[in-house]
Amino acid sequence: MKKLLVVFVILALLSSCGGYVGGELTGVEGRRSLAEPQPLGMAFIPMGTYNMGQSDQDINWAFYSTSKTVSVDAFWMDDTEITNNEYRQFVHWVKDSILRKAVGEMNEDYMITEDENGNEINPPILNWDLEIDMYDEEIREVVNEYYYNQDDQLYGRKEFDTRKLMYEYYWIDLKQAAVKKNRYNYETRRYDGNITNNMGEVVEIDSRSSFVIRDIVNVYPDTLAWIADFSYSFNEPYTTMYFWHPSYDNYPVVGVTWKQASAFAIWRTNYLNAYLKGVGEPFVHDYRLPLESEWEYAARGGIDLQMYPWGGYYTRNNEGCFLANFKPLRGNYVDDGGLNTIPVGSYQPNDYGLYDMSGNVAEWTSNAFDESAYSFTHDMNPDYKYNAKPNDPPVRKRKVIRGGSWKDIGYYLQNGTRTFEYQDTSKTYIGFRCVRSYLGGS
**pLDDT tens digits for range 121-130:** 877 888 888 8
More confident of the two residues 335 and 21: 335
**Neighbouring C-alpha atoms within 13 Å toward the C-beta of 208:** 3
More confident residue, 272 or 132: 272
398 domain residue, yes or no: yes
- Does the residue 43 lie in any domain? no
Dump pLDDT digits (tens) for 351-369: 999 999 999 999 999 999 9
How far is the C-alpha of 407 from the C-alpha of 326, rounded, in Å? 6
21/38 Cα distance (integer angstroms): 37
Q: Does 152 fall in a domain?
A: yes
* Residues 261, 340 within the same domain: yes
Nearest partner of 239 among 128, 172, 268, 230, judged by Cα: 230
Q: Are 177 and 183 in contact (CB under 8 A)?
A: yes
Q: Which of 184, 203, 218 is the last residue of a domain?
A: 218
pLDDT digits (tens, 9 = 90+) for 401-412: 999 999 999 999
Is 62 a domain residue? no
Report pLDDT for 223.
Answer: 96
Residues 393 and 298 placed together within one structural domain of the fold: yes
- For residue 42, tell me if it sits in a domain: no
Residues near 11 by Cβ (< 8 Å), separated by ≥ 6? Answer: none
- pTM, 2 dp: 0.91
Evaluate whether 345 touches 236 at the Cβ level (below 8 Å): no
Q: What CATH code is carried by the domain that includes residue 233? A: 3.90.1580.10
Between the alpha carbon of residue 305 and those of residues 54, 67, 69, 400, 434, the distances in Å are: 8, 10, 11, 21, 25
Q: Are residues 206 and 226 in the same domain?
A: no
Q: Is 223 found in the same domain as 180?
A: no
Domain count, the chain: 3
Residue 164 confidence (pLDDT): 94
Q: Are residues 276 and 263 in the same domain?
A: yes
Kindly tell me if the per-residue pLDDT of 11 is higher than 60.
no
* 344 and 384 together in one domain: yes
Question: What pLDDT is stored for residue 367 in this prediction?
Answer: 97
pLDDT grade, residue 8 (50/70/90)?
very low
CA angle 231, 232, 233 (to 5 degrees): 95
**Domain ranges, residue 174:** 168-218
pLDDT for 424 equals 94
Does 208 share its domain with 331? no
Distance CA 353, CA 382 (A): 23
Same domain, 276 and 353: yes
User: Quick one: 373 and 327 in the same domain?
Assistant: yes
Whether the Cβ atoms of residue 341 and residue 264 lie closer than 8 Å to each other: no
Q: How far apart are the C-alpha atoms of 200 and 179, rounded to whole Å?
A: 18
pLDDT tens digit sequence for 78-125: 999 999 999 999 999 999 999 999 888 888 888 888 877 888 887 788
End residue of a domain, out of 131, 157, 183: 157
Rounded mean pLDDT, 140-156: 83
Q: Round to whole Å and give the CA distance between 244 and 402.
A: 26
| Contacts (Cβ under 8 Å, ≥6 apart) of 185 | 191, 192
Residues 334 and 407 in one domain: yes
Query: Does residue 34 fall inside a structural domain?
Result: no
Query: Which amino acid is residue 50, in one-letter code?
Result: Y
Residue 177 lies in a domain: yes
Q: Within this chain, do residues 146 and 229 fall inside the same structural domain, yes or no?
A: no
**264/321 same-domain check:** yes
- Mean pLDDT on 40-46: 96
**Which pLDDT band, with edges at 50, 70 and 90, does 19 fall under?**
low
